[in-house]
Every structure is written in structure tokens, then in C-alpha cells.
Chain A
Amino acid sequence: MAFAHSDRPADTAKIVVAGGFGVGKTTFVGSVSEIEPVDTDAWMTAESRGVDRERPGKVRTTVAMDFGRISLPTGLVLYLFGTPGQPRFWHMWDDIARGASAALVLVDTRDLESSFAAVDYFEQNRRLPFVVLVNLFDGVATHALDKVRDALQISPHVPLMAADVRDRRQTLSALVASVQHTIRTTRPAAARAADL
């Protein structure tokens, strides 16, 4: 999709939507994107050969990556990128996370384990602040949030919230919260001290 109406390209920004397989990443992106979430194939390079332990000796060459786009009234075009769920694609996560302003890790409380790798990735990658979002599939939480924090070993400073990602407003609120967390985390210490 092009921005044919504009002579000057907008600035772009990116937010990463991570989490295990089937936790609702595509639903999240689809609920706010102005384009249908797009799948594209990323090109697995040679270094992935040793990583695919499930099929030793074979090179798995395709991995789908989905993304959406939101044109913001402030002249910024925001891209939302979903990460491939499987941990063996971690070098692709680096590619997707590079240059991002914020990240959300989606969690399905019926399958906490599937998002553990994503939480672990962002806990270790300290450069990109992240929040954790419990997806309320049926509008209700099946676990208390503090139990989710314990089970997934989420650091105390990482915001944890819940939303039904089918709902555009709730998805937008989660995006706002992720950006606010980045602002709090990346502001120079002097600016933070001035608030005290």
C-alpha cells in the first residue's frame, strides 16, 4: 500500500507484538491496522542451519512474519510487527525488534508456557522496553495477574495488564501503555529526578 496522496514520506515508527503461537498476535494487529495484516516470508539465512534441532540436517527456509500499519494523525506511520512464535527464530526477532519503540508480549493464560520464550527474550534484550498483555479471549481472566507474573518470571518493573485484543479500543489502550512505558524507561535520569 502506498501513500500516493503525500509528496513527502512520513516518519515511521514500529512496535513489536510478540508471544507464543496462537496467543492472538494477528488478532491484535488486525484490530487496529488500516490494512489487512500482511504475511510475508522472511528469508532464513545460512546461520539458521544449526538452530533447527527438530529437523537436523535440513534447512528450514521460510518463516511467516505478519505486520499491520496505522497512519497516525501526528504524521507518523506506525508499523506493528508480529514475531514468529517459535524460539528457533530468535535471530529474526532481533531483526524485527531493531529500531522498535516499544514491545508487547501477548499471553494466553490457558497456555502460559507458549509465551515464556518471548518474555525471556525481552527480559534479556534490555534495550527495548516491553509490557506484558494478557489476552482475555472470553472477556474474563482465568488467572490473577500476579500469578501470571510469577509463572512467567516477569520482572517487577515490567507493566502487566489485560485486554481483549479483538476490541480496537482495548488494543489501542495497550499500545498507549507500551509507549508510556518506553517513555518512562528511556527518559534521562535528570528528567525523572525533576518529577520528584
Chain B
Amino acid sequence: MSPPPRHPWARGFVLVGGRTTTRWRMLVHTLVSSTGEHPPAAAGPHPEARALYLRVLAGPQSVAELSASCGVPLGVTRVLLGDLAGRGLVTLHADTDPFSPHILERLLDGLRAL
């Protein structure tokens, strides 16, 4: 990974071309997984995008975890992951309904079993 830039916010803003949104729906806990091994160059020229992509290759993890482990701010992470999804390099998993009885039951049973 490249050394942290001196003004990470400015850099992040510039590298995603000033975009603050992406057409992909991404919650902070949305899981991201890889679609298979592609050369890192497929992630594009930005070291932040490559870092995120390589991290996803290690196994599925949430948008927030990717942001934290790669040191890329959340908003930039979302835009870059949206780009990677657009290139077919990563899959953004569908949300589960947070109030579905099935999910709430698994949540309750799981917490009680700890």
C-alpha cells in the first residue's frame, strides 16, 4: 500500500472525481465478496481501489470493515466499491430485511446462545 497521503480527504474526493454517491445500495454493514481472482490491475489505477479489491479477495466482509482496514474513508470506499461492482470484480450482497421475523429470531437465539 502507498503511504498515507497528507490530505486524505482531498485526495479521496479527487480520486473519485468529486462523486459522493453511487448507484449501488450499500449500507455500512453490507457484505462485499469477490467474483473470483482477477489481476489487481483490473481494479483500475488507484491504489485505494486496488487495496480494497485485494482485501475483498481475502474473504467477504462489510463495507465498514473494508473502509477501516484499508484506511479509506467510508464515502470514498462506497464510490470505489461501486466502481468495482460495476466492473464485475466484486459482489455487493443484498440486504436482509432487518425486521423480518426470521432474522430477528436468529438474532435473538444467537445472542442467547453466547
A interface list, Cβ under 8 A from B: 1-4, 6, 9-14, 32, 38-46, 61-62, 65, 67, 69-70, 72-79, 81, 95-96, 98-101, 172, 175-176, 179-180, 182-183, 186-187
Determine if B9 and A179 form an interchain contact, defined as CB atoms under 8 angstroms apart. Answer: no
In the bound complex, residues from chain A placing their C-beta under 8 Å from that of B112 are 176
Determine if A41 and B98 form an interchain contact, defined as CB atoms under 8 angstroms apart. Answer: no
The minimal Cβ–Cβ distance linking B46 to chain A, given in whole angstroms, is 15
B30-45 contact mask (Cβ, 8 Å, vs A): 1 or 0: 1101000000000000
The binding surface of chain A is classed by DSSP as mixed
Partner of B64, one of A9, A40, A77, A101: A40
In the bound complex, residues from chain B placing their C-beta under 8 Å from that of A39 are 68
In the bound complex, residues from chain A placing their C-beta under 8 Å from that of B1 are none
Determine if A81 and B28 form an interchain contact, defined as CB atoms under 8 angstroms apart. Answer: yes
Residues B100-114 near A (CB distance < 8 A): 101, 103-104, 106-114
- Give the complex CA separation of A75 and B64 in angstroms: 20
- Count of chain B residues with a beta carbon within 8 Å of a chain A beta carbon: 42
User: Given A12-B96, A72-B114, does the pair A1, B28 have CB atoms closer than 8 Å?
Assistant: no
Partner of B31, one of A9, A32, A38, A179: A9
Determine if A3 and B60 form an interchain contact, defined as CB atoms under 8 angstroms apart. Answer: yes
Determine if B60 and A74 form an interchain contact, defined as CB atoms under 8 angstroms apart. Answer: no
In the bound complex, residues from chain A placing their C-beta under 8 Å from that of B106 are 11, 13, 72, 74-76
- Give the complex CA separation of A172 and B114 in angstroms: 8
CB-based nearest A residue for B91: A9
In the bound complex, residues from chain B placing their C-beta under 8 Å from that of A75 are 106, 110
CB-based nearest A residue for B12: A43
CB-based nearest B residue for A182: B104
CB-based nearest A residue for B110: A72
In the bound complex, residues from chain A placing their C-beta under 8 Å from that of B73 are 40-43, 62
In the bound complex, residues from chain A placing their C-beta under 8 Å from that of B33 are 9
Determine if B28 and A14 form an interchain contact, defined as CB atoms under 8 angstroms apart. Answer: yes
Determine if B28 and A180 form an interchain contact, defined as CB atoms under 8 angstroms apart. Answer: no
